[in-house]
Amino acid sequence: MKILRYPSNAAEKKMRSIIARDIDFRKADVQAVTRILNDVKRNGDEALIRYCQAFDAPGMTIETLAVTPEEMAAARTKVDRAFLKALNRAVAQIDGFHRQQLPKSWIDTRRPGTLLGQMVHPVDAAGVYVPGGKGGNTPLVSSVLMGAIPAKIAGVPKVVMVTPPMPSGEVAPHLLVAAKKVGVDAVYKVGSAWAIGALAYGTETLPKVNVVVGPGNIFVTLAKKIVAGTVGIDMIAGPSEILIVADGTADPEYIAADLLSQAEHDPLASAILVTDSAELAQAVKAAVEIQLAALSRVDIARQSLSAFGAIMVVENVDVAIGLANHIAPEHLELQVAEPMDVAPRIRNAGAIFLGPYTPEPVGDYMAGPNHVLPTAGTARFSSALSVDHFMKKTSLIRYSRAALRKEARDIISLATVEGLGAHASAIRIRLKKKAK
């Protein structure tokens, strides 16, 4: 990793290249995914089976598209106690955090003659996309938990899960056990863009849902972008990223490990250290090289660090905070002597990890907050996946005759300015008639 002084021309150039790493799609990919979505919309199950057989499971049929109760029961016998123990703890802690997010309906009658309020209801159905994870060899259990738990807490009556099957036509047992644990109502063996199309439009077998959430590759992400508006989505997520703000009290080996925990995701992932200690910068650089050599995904991590990694040495922590707010990272670690003094000054970040014993993977699996976070600077205006993504809010308005008469002139005035005569007439007609 290169060490750069910030601000400097070289550092500014590096930061521009990282910030410019926005979420973009090639024209050919847009056209391909659009064709797939249109195919699923027109041909339903027939299209799903065709894509499943071509790309995932050659023996897939319409009859085997849905996971059966027998498959769910069999999965339970294929996982060990250590997994079940970890799963139970993660579910309890993720559930506990998200229950604090539940919004409430409310009514306000403080203005004489009026009743104003808001009703909060869950959507009728939600779909959770779970990536295949190397053909089922690395089942992404955390994606099941982070998508389904807030949906169930919101009160969504029907939560379905889609995931690419293994070549055998099966789904990894760890995913099925997790889905059962969190109350997923149905699991379907379908992935990629055609799975998103099935959730958005519905097929003979898969139900149409109202909200689609969950991570995926570029084709899943692009499909979500295209169907957004037909259904609600969580976000358009880009490559993973971490920014660590550290002072001279930080442990360089901890920082190196945390930088690599993101760099190993993707060649486009970003890992940045910002520190006011030149000594720490040198120590982290050395520790990264030592730890990098031991990684199984060394080539991916090295590409990421070369293109989008950096160590920035700044004058003080104040400059580091300003840089963090400018970048708006997905994951922000504060490895400083007093992280709680710094945290209130962070305005733009997906999640903040406080202190030396809170590495980013804690948030990925166990802490409780959702790990589906805004990337590519979108933390400036968006938030983590939450219970709110599965709920909708309806306003309540009621006026008495007296309350309407009191505000009638102002309403008519605004309607007239906007050139909407019928709006004004809807008020005037009520002023002319006697009360019933």
Distant-in-sequence, close-in-space partners of 124: CB < 8 Å, separation ≥ 6: 156, 157, 158, 210
Cis peptide bond N-terminal to 7, omega within 30 = yes
Contacts of 195 (CB under 8 A, 6+ apart): 48, 129, 162, 164, 188, 220
Rounded to whole angstroms, the Cα distance separating 50 from 69 reads: 25
Instruction: Note whether 198 and 348 are within 8 A (CB).
Output: no
Q: Indicate left, alpha or beta for 368 from its phi (over 0: left) and psi (-120 to 50: alpha).
A: left
Q: Residues 98, 241, 265, 330: which is the catalytic one?
A: 330
3-state DSSP assignment of residue 13? helix
Strands laid side by side in the 114-122 sheet: 106-108, 114-122, 391-399
The bridge status of strand 270-275 relative to strand 211-213 is unpaired
Distance CA(371)–CA(114), nearest Å, equals 42
Q: List CB contacts of 241: < 8 A, sequence separation 6 or more.
A: 262, 269, 270, 271, 272, 308, 329, 330, 331, 375, 376
Q: What is the DSSP string of 29-76?
A: HHHHHHHHHHHHHHHTHHHHHHHHHHHT-TT--GGGSBPPHHHHHHHH
The two tokens of residue 320 are 């580091």
Q: Give the full edge-to-edge strand order of the sheet including 125-129.
A: 186-189, 158-163, 125-129, 211-213, 232-233
Give the torsion through C-alpha atoms of 143, 133, 17, 1, to 10 deg: 110
User: Can you list the alpha helix ranges (DSSP code H) found in 353-432?
Assistant: 360-365, 401-417, 421-432
Indicate if 330 belongs to the active site. yes
DSSP state of 77: T
Three-state DSSP class for residue 410: helix
Burial group, residue 47, by CB count within 10 angstroms (0-12, 13-18, 19+): buried
Options 98, 174, 265, 331, the catalytic residue: 331
Is 331 a residue of the active site? yes
Nearest CA-CA partner of 148 in 82, 80, 98: 98
**Which sequence positions are flagged as catalytic?**
330-331
